[in-house]
Structure 1
Amino acid sequence: MAQKRADMIAETRGKLIKAAREAFAVKGYADSSMDDLTAQAGLTRGALYHHFGDKKGLLQAVIAQIDSEMMERLSVITDEASTTWDGFVDESIAYIKMSLEPEIQRIVFLDGPAVLGDPSQWRSQNACIHSTQRSIQKLIDEGTIHNVAPEATARLIMGALLGASLWIAHADDPHMACEQAVASFRALASGLLLTGQP
């Protein structure tokens, strides 16, 4: 009985998140009405309020889902890299380039900050910082980069990546901004390398 109820809750939440994600990606947060979202999901406004509190809570759930998918994609890039350094650089550049993807750009980098405030304070950013911190520590242990403070360096890097992504999302020419951000990141990151490293 408890399992059946848990499955029903998960199904209801899933329907609402799916409908909201589609609407937010196409229309944007401001132009997506709760009535349309719930009708598309085949549910009532009461279900939305019960599971997410309000439309803002639903946006948080959508962003959490997208963030989780982004983290999975970035983990694959890191795992498939031939060296820790290549994984670190490739993952960072991939994060920047994700800001060009229409759904991510609109929901995570445009509507998210406008509605939920400073993205550096979102829970998902802590996961990114910890992941980057582990990579920094591994690169130090391997003798690839200078013996920097891992947490401080991870926060600087994630701040730079987030700032670049927000800039790209708002740029008149996002593709040009992305190219410039990637080139600049490569130059900045290379300053971490010890002499003689790739």
Structure 2
Amino acid sequence: MAAQRRAQMVEETRAKLVQAARKAFAEKGYAAASMDDLTAEAGLTRGALYHNFGDKKGLLQAVIDQIDGEMLARLRSVQNRAKDPWQGFLDEYTAYIEMALEPEIQRIMLLDGPAVLGDPSQWPNQSACLQRTTKAIQALIDAGTVKPVDAEAAARLLNGTALNASLWIAAADNPYAVFARAVEAFRHLAAGLLRSGG
């Protein structure tokens, strides 16, 4: 029972730190977010931060993992509402690109994250995303909707295109104008995978 309570306390501490860091990173940016301020906001010490996440960079990774999980849930919901699998596939990518318009995602996931953690296509969560996309493309191939292409290659190219579109939007002076251009071009590129009359 004591071990269970201790595990619960560790989870509560981690959750408080992630919540405080997420707020600080979104409002001030990673570089300007003070570890003393965010640990005080969580009612914890710097020691708790270092014990649970190693450093500020580890805390950023935890925040990104949390946001990524939320984004994935939203994308699944978008896909599930579509009239057919192809439309769900397109709607999911469009929703992903559109999330680049949200200030928290822009700042944490698309500006600070890559600057601190490196190439987003190499982040651990991208492996699961790639597998999921590859399966979706293979299902569309099997259903006769998409041409018989290499599903993994198509998934890597489409994911890279959507990620670069999102990075472009996040860094743009007029993100909404860039979003419209990016989505239109993305849909044309994706349509190239369709079988004739698909």
> Which residue in the other structure is 1:133 paired with?
134
CA drift at 1:100: 0.4
> Which residue in the other structure is 2:78 paired with?
77
> Which residue in the other structure is 1:21 paired with?
22
Amino acid at match of 1:146: K
Deviations 1:28-55 (A, max 9, x none): 0010010001000000000000000000
CA drift at 1:70: 0.3
Q: Which deviates more, 125-134 or 173-182? A: 125-134
Q: What is the aligned-residue identity percentage?
A: 63
Distance 2:150 2:3 in 1: 47
Distance 1:115 1:196 in 2: 45
Distance 1:41 1:94 in 2: 32
> Which residue in the other structure is 2:160 paired with?
159
Aligned residues: 197
Amino acid at match of 2:120: P
Distance 2:58 2:194 in 1: 42
> Which residue in the other structure is 1:62 paired with?
63
Distance 2:62 2:26 in 1: 14
Amino acid at match of 2:37: D
Q: Structure 1: which 5+ residue stretches go unaligned? A: none
| TM-score using structure 1 length | 0.98
Distance 2:195 2:91 in 1: 19
Amino acid at match of 1:118: D
Q: Which deviates more, 72-81 or 178-187? A: 72-81
Partner-residue secondary structure (3-state), 1:195 = coil
Q: What does 1:104-123 align with in structure 2 at a 5 Å threshold?
A: 104-123=105-124
CA drift at 1:16: 0.1
Amino acid at match of 2:74: R
Matched, 1:179 2:177: no
> Which residue in the other structure is 1:44 paired with?
45
Amino acid at match of 2:59: L
> Which residue in the other structure is 1:103 paired with?
104
Runs (4+) off by over 4 Å: none
CA drift at 1:126: 1.2
Amino acid at match of 2:51: H
CA RMSD of aligned residues (A): 0.6
CA drift at 1:107: 0.2
Distance 2:43 2:182 in 1: 42
Distance 1:128 1:6 in 2: 29
| TM-score using structure 2 length | 0.98
CA drift at 1:166: 0.5
Deviations 1:90-113 (A, max 9, x none): 000000000000000000000000
Distance 2:54 2:139 in 1: 41
> Which residue in the other structure is 1:170 paired with?
171
Distance 1:91 1:134 in 2: 14
Amino acid at match of 1:151: E
